[in-house]
Amino acid sequence: MNAEESRKLTLRRIVIAFVPLVALIGMIVLGVTVFGRDVGDGPSQISLVFATALAAVLAGVAGRVPWSVLEQGITSSIAKAGVSIMILFLIGMLSGAWMIGGVVPTLICYGVKIMNPHLFLVCACIICAIVSLLTGTSWTTVATIGVALLGIGTALGVPAPWSAGAIISGAYFGDKLSPLSDTTILASSSTGTDLFVHIKYMLFTTIPSMTLTLIIFLVSGFFLVDASAVDVQTFSEGLSHAFHVSPWTLLVPVATGALIALRLPSLAVLFISALLGGVSAVVLQGDVLLSVVGEKLPSAVGYYKALMTTFFTSTHIATGSEVLDRLVTTRGMSGMLTTVWLILCAVSFGGVMYAGGMLRTIADVALACVRGLAGLVGATAFTGAVMNVATGDQYISILITADMFRDAYRGKGLESRLLSRTIEDSSTVTSVLVPWNTCAMAQSTSLGVATVAYLPFCFFNLISPFMSVIVAAIGWKIVRPPISGSKGQASP
């Protein structure tokens, strides 16, 4: 085989790998243009199905990959998304229980009295960062305290996309640095890096990224919010009229915090917390709970019916204010079905792309463009972000990126902690910026804010990949292990 034939084969591989990805992005953009905010209700799913079919045809016909291999790729990807899907269902259950149980309304009423409108974005970001750092999960942070903070921001006159950006920025900062986080553990273990070495090394890129993020939110808060136009009193009275606002409801988030401190799995924490919200609804919000199903007289059957309705479907509470009515509306488990549909389509696309060898080709193209240390880190960050687009799941993105670049870092004599940090700076934080990624779907569904709406304001997530490249270019804390047997150097 001559060089020209080899080059043609390489170009063939590149075309096969990138055509489905480009087609998907093109169809998603077209869907957004035509359907607007409703693109996630079906058009995105169909786009993913078409892109999956295209990838399967190219892999089978041009790449000669057996159908059984592609099918196994889909099965494997869906299996890995199983826990994420169950978490989404429990988040739907929890959101309904915490709202009807009076937990979220109470947090909002107390929060609007304490927070300064101009400092809300900074405070929301810091609060979510602390909670996520302690819990190790951005999903639970956003689904609980994040929902309450979004309501507080609405009451204070802060646009929902900005609030969502602050909440998500903080949640992913904490998730990224927490030793309890599954992504932190996965990134360190998949690269062979000690967990706490990995966390300490991330500080050199994560702290500067967060500092810039807080400065942006601080400055923006003074220009974004007109404090004189905020009618906090009316907002609080509307919630107090519709719900029984009581400090007793705060026992639910306190108990949730205790469960997290005991390091129970996320599934267990969310389920128990949802049940506690249901208890609060029965004990403290009885009339509100019964109104969900139109019952007026208390009865065991009425409470059971209302509680189950709160858990599995949408609820609407009349507050006398259109803004408040939208805020306290919940969707329950059934409200997550569209998101689950999108997840299944997204991971199926990723499964075919992986099984067909297309993701490997994309990484090879990135490696071919590498020039120097900053180029290698930039290629890693780019690949991590592209894998989030292509696979629709951050865990798959982390594993694939680690696998593809492990030998390249070793070959250049670079420490594994540089690879693990770069993966976190890209795969972990950019996952929430891709509309069909499991992370983005979870956060947008929990907050009720579309990914394309909050994306421009997730400053921490946007800055982190670039900060990783900048720090590498500067050479700050980049250590090359001594080469075994070199003169004047000790063997590792």
Predicted confidence band at 193 (pLDDT cuts at 50, 70, 90)? Answer: confident
Judge whether residue 239 has pLDDT over 60. yes
Average pLDDT over the chain, rounded to an integer: 84
Domain shared by 208 and 343, yes or no: no
CB neighbourhood size of 298 (10 A): 12
- Among 301, 332, 363, give the residue marking a domain's end: 332
Residue 257 burial (10 A CB sphere; 0-12, 13-18, 19+): middle
pLDDT band of residue 486 (cuts 50, 70, 90) is very low
What are the angstrom distances between the C-alpha of 182 and each of 52, 139, 444, 465?
Answer: 28, 11, 20, 20
Instruction: Tell me the average pLDDT across 122-145.
Output: 86
Q: What is the pLDDT of residue 26?
A: 87
Average pLDDT on 384-411 reads 82
- Residue 97 and residue 70 share a domain: no
Q: Which of 287, 311, 332 is the last residue of a domain?
A: 332
HSE-CB of 220 using CA atoms within 13 angstroms: 18
Identity (one letter) of the amino acid at 40? G
Model confidence at 246, in pLDDT bands (50, 70, 90)? confident
Domain assignment of residue 3, yes or no? no
Alpha-helical regions (H) of 392-458: 394-411, 416-423, 429-430, 438-447, 451-454
Whether 66 and 194 share a structural domain: no
Count the alpha carbons within 13 Å of 256 in the hemisphere toward its beta carbon: 26
Q: What DSSP character marks residue 437?
A: S
Task: Tell me the pLDDT band of 433, cut-offs 50, 70 and 90.
Answer: very high
pLDDT, position 92: 85
Q: Per the domain annotation, does 126 fall within a domain?
A: yes
Q: Is the same domain home to 324 and 366?
A: no
What's the whole-number mean pLDDT along residues 231-241?
74
Pair 232, 305 in one domain: yes
**pLDDT at site 323:** 67
Q: Does any domain span residue 34?
A: yes
pLDDT at 462 over 60: yes
Q: Provide the domain limits for residue 236.
A: 83-332
Predicted local distance difference test score (pLDDT) of residue 231 = 61
For residue 15, what are the contacts with CB-CB under 8 A and spacing of at least 6? none
pLDDT at 407: 77
Residues 74 and 128 in one domain: no
Average pLDDT over residues 271-295: 90
Find out whether 48 and 345 touch, Cβ atoms under 8 Å: yes
In a domain, 2, yes or no: no
Judge whether 319 lies within some domain. yes
Residue 233 scores a pLDDT above 60: yes
- Classify residue 264 as exposed, middle or buried by CB count within 10 Å of its CB (0-12, 13-18, 19+): middle
Helix (H) or strand (E) holding 236: helix 232-242
Amino acid making up residue 131 = V
Q: Please tell me whether residues 136 and 69 are part of one structural domain.
A: no
In this predicted structure, the answer to whether residue 73 has a pLDDT above a threshold of 80 is: yes
- Residue 314 is which amino acid? S
**Residue 283 pLDDT grade (very low, low, confident, very high; cuts 50, 70, 90):** very high
On whether both 446 and 314 belong to a single domain, the answer is no
pLDDT over threshold 70, residue 269: yes
Shared domain check, 294 and 198 = yes
d(CA 324, CA 154): 9
Averaged pLDDT, 196-217: 93
pLDDT of residue 232: 66
Percentage of the chain beyond pLDDT 70 is 93
pLDDT at 487 over 90: no
If asked whether residues 438 and 463 sit together in one domain, one would say yes
Compare 370 and 240 and report the one with higher pLDDT.
240
61 and 203 fall within a common domain: no
Q: At 210, which helix (H) or strand (E)?
A: helix 195-224
Residues in the chain: 492
Q: Name the amino acid, one letter, at 257.
A: G
pLDDT at 181 over 50: yes
Determine how many CB atoms are found less than 10 A away from the CB of residue 4.
8
Q: Quote the CA–CA distance of 132 and 174 in Å, as a whole number.
A: 5
Six token digits for residue 361: 């080709």
pLDDT in tens, 290-318: 988 888 888 889 999 999 999 998 888 87
φ/ψ of residue 315, rounded to 5: -130, 150
For residue 448, give every residue at least 6 positions away whose Cβ sits within 8 Å of its Cβ, in sequence order, or none: 150, 160
DSSP state of 412: T
Classify residue 275: in a domain, yes or no: yes
Q: Of the residues 312, 332, 352, which one is the last residue of a structural domain?
A: 332
Mean pLDDT along residues 392-411: 81
**Pair (302, 317) in one structural domain:** yes
What pLDDT digit, counting tens, does each position of 161-179 carry? 999 999 999 999 988 888 8
Is the pLDDT at 152 greater than 70, yes or no?
Answer: yes
Q: What pLDDT, on a 0 to 100 scale, did the predictor assign at position 37? A: 65
Please give the pLDDT value at position 44: 82
Distance CA(372)–CA(387), nearest Å, equals 22
- Return the SS3 of 330: strand
* CA 446 to each of CA 83, 150, 214: distance values in angstroms, whole numbers, following the listed order: 17, 10, 23
Q: Mean pLDDT, to the nearest integer, of 263-285?
A: 89
pLDDT of the residue at 207:
95
Count of domains for the chain: 2
Per-residue burial over 384-393, b if 16 or more Cβ lie within 10 Å, else e, is bbbbbbbbbb
Look at residue 481 and tell me if it is in a domain.
no
Query: Residue 1: its pLDDT value, please?
Result: 40
Q: Which residues contact residue 436 at a Cβ distance below 8 angstroms, ignoring those fewer than 6 apart?
A: 28, 44, 48, 342, 345, 346, 392
Q: Is residue 491 situated within a structural domain? A: no
